[in-house]
Amino acid sequence: MRAVVLTGAGEMQVRDIPRPAAGPRDVLVRPEAIGLCGTDFHIYSGAANYHRDEHGAPIPLVVEPQILGHEITGRVEEVGADVDDLRPGQRVVLDQGLNCKSAARAELCEYCRTGDSHQCACFREHGISGLPGGLAEAIAVPAVNAVRIATELDPGLAAVTEPLACVLHSLDVVASANARYLLEAKEADRRVRSVLIAGAGPAGLLWVQTLRRVLGFEGRVLVSEPDATKRELAARFGAETIDPTAGDLVAQVATRTEGRRVELLVDASGSGPLFHDVPGLVRKQSTILLYGHGHAGVGMEVLNQVQWAEPTLLSPVGASGGFEPDGRPTVYRRALRLIEEGVIDVAPLVTHRYDGLAAVPAAFAGGHREAGYVKGVVVLN
């Protein structure tokens, strides 16, 4: 079969590789749409490598090339002998993370027992940590990692399930934190009044919608974003937007919050220099949630002034949240239903579609930097 293989930083090509086989508990899925994520671009550029050996050392791409793509929706082609709740032809969204439920372990690890499956003691990920991803003609995963699509939802939109699930998990972490300010606190002086989301890429835009449409948050949602197209989308979804290139960000936030600053800062940008501004953006004992990755260009000393504010620092990863009675991931199912029911509108986020595997190398080489780009999806027929 054909697959897009990353052989080195910035080196990607379409190759013939062996077709995977589905084990007794697996399903073989033909991907129909694969969302392109910032994590994919970090791996592609060489800025990140999450494929590690048993000692935690990165495994170079020249040693073990990777197939990227972890936001996957597709159609079941084959089911293993022990799979009785899926059949060929059904459409599914995939949870790319393998955990205790995926492996059918008799005893769950401490993380899977508490609904933190993304931190499973034996966790591995398709498309990120070495297992083959969705940029291929077929992928085999445990059946419990396949969540059935119940509607005629466009596959390119269904692929946004994974990033939305990550946002839902992050909000669950915020809600359970022992922080001074909470989004749904009963006491007025403990309630979040203003949120600042740094970055209006797909994650930032999903954050805005989830706060407004799922949580029903009625406070101020500020979004800092230099791109006008993305600011326009954020405003459409209910945010007050700030252009950080038009003036001092700290001053703009102070004006919008009448000097109070924000009680919750969500970094959805992965921008290291942002942390120079953080002490002036947040209220004392605020919550700072690190959602984006990267943060290049600054040293750890940038946290000195942040620490003086005594914030609650949160760094949720992935889409943990427990399992359904059938073993499937609860948060993925929640995310998919929100998209299917139209509560979360993902159509405006998918601005670029790439037809077929042959179009993928060009998309990674620079297509994602085109004007008006918010999110790209690779569509396979």
**340 in any annotated domain:** no
Query: Which of 314, 336, 354 represents a domain boundary (last residue)?
Result: 314
Residues 25 and 107 in one domain: yes
* Co-location of 149 and 226 in the same domain: no
- Which pLDDT belongs to residue 349? 97
Q: Tell me if 328 is assigned to some domain.
A: no
In a domain, 322, yes or no: no
Contact 183, 217 (CB under 8 A): yes
Position 105 scores a pLDDT of 96
Tell me, yes or no, whether 156 and 9 share the same domain. yes
Residue 335 counted as domain residue: no
Instruction: Please check whether residues 211 and 84 belong to one and the same domain.
Output: no
Strands 124-125 and 97-98: what pairing? antiparallel
Q: Which amino acid is it at 135?
A: L
pLDDT tens, position by position, for the chain (381 residues)?
Answer: 999 999 999 999 999 999 999 999 999 999 999 999 999 999 999 988 999 988 989 999 999 999 999 999 999 999 999 999 999 999 999 999 999 999 999 999 999 999 999 999 999 999 999 999 999 999 999 999 999 999 999 999 999 999 999 999 999 999 999 999 999 999 999 999 999 999 999 999 999 999 999 999 999 999 999 999 999 999 999 999 999 999 999 999 999 999 999 999 999 998 889 999 999 999 999 999 999 988 888 888 988 899 999 999 999 999 999 999 999 999 999 999 999 999 999 999 999 999 999 999 999 998 778 888 999 999 998
User: What is the C-alpha to C-alpha distance for residues 179 and 174, in angstroms, rounded to an integer?
Assistant: 8
Q: Could you tell me if 88 and 38 lie in one domain?
A: yes
Question: Which of 292, 314, 336 lies at the terminal end of a domain, its last residue?
Answer: 314
Inter-residue contact 145 to 23 (CB < 8 Å): no
User: Is the same domain home to 274 and 195?
Assistant: yes
Do the domain assignments include residue 368?
yes
Looking at residue 54, what is its pLDDT? 86
Kindly state whether residues 127 and 172 are assigned to the same domain.
Answer: no
Residue 339 lies in a domain: no
- Closest of 75, 88, 221, 61 to residue 149, by C-alpha: 75
Domain boundary among 314, 333, 368: 314
CB 193 within 8 A of CB 263: yes
Please answer whether residues 5 and 15 qualify as being in contact, where contact means their C-beta atoms are separated by less than 8 angstroms.
yes
320 falls within a domain: no
Q: Is 295 left (phi over 0), alpha (psi -120 to 50) or beta?
A: left
User: Number of structural domains, the chain?
Assistant: 2
Q: Which residues contact 176 (CB under 8 A, 6 or more apart)?
A: none
* pTM summary value: 0.96
350 lies in the same domain as 276:
no
Residues 31 and 57 in one domain: yes
Q: What is the pLDDT of residue 367?
A: 76
pLDDT of residue 272: 87
Where residue 271 falls (left for φ over 0; alpha for ψ -120 to 50; beta otherwise) is: beta
Residue 104, both tokens: 């059918």
In terms of phi and psi (left: phi > 0; alpha: psi -120 to 50; beta: otherwise), the region of 231 is: alpha
Residue 213 belongs to domain with CATH number: 3.40.50.720
Does 227 share its domain with 135?
no
My answer on whether 283 and 192 are in the same domain is yes
Angle of helix 274-281 versus helix 249-256 axis, rounded to 10 = 30
Confidence (pLDDT) at 74: 98
- Cα–Cα dist 264/253, whole Å: 12
Residue 337, pLDDT score: 98
Domain-located, residue 333: no
Residues 143, 175: one domain? Answer: no
Find the domain containing 354 and state its range. Answer: 2-160+346-379
* CATH number of the domain bearing residue 97: 3.90.180.10
The three-state DSSP-derived secondary structure of the chain is CEEEEEEECCEEEEEECCCCCCCCCEEEEEEEEEECCHHHHHHHHCCCCCCECCCCCECCCCCCCECCCCEEEEEEEEECCCCCCCCCCCEEEECCEECCCCCCCCCCCHHHHCCCHHHCCCCEEECCCCECCCCECCEEEEHHHEEECCCCCCHHHHCCHHHHHHHHHHHHHHHHCCCCCECCCCCHHHECCEEEEECCCHHHHHHHHHHHHHCCCCCEEEEECCCHHHHHHHHHCCCEEECCCCCCHHHHHHHHCCCCCEEEEEECCCCCCHHHHHHHHEEEEEEEEECCCCCCCCCHHHHHHHHHCCCEEECCCCCCCCECCCCCEHHHHHHHHHHHCCCCCCHHHEEEEEECHHHHHHHHHCHHHCCCCCEEEEECC
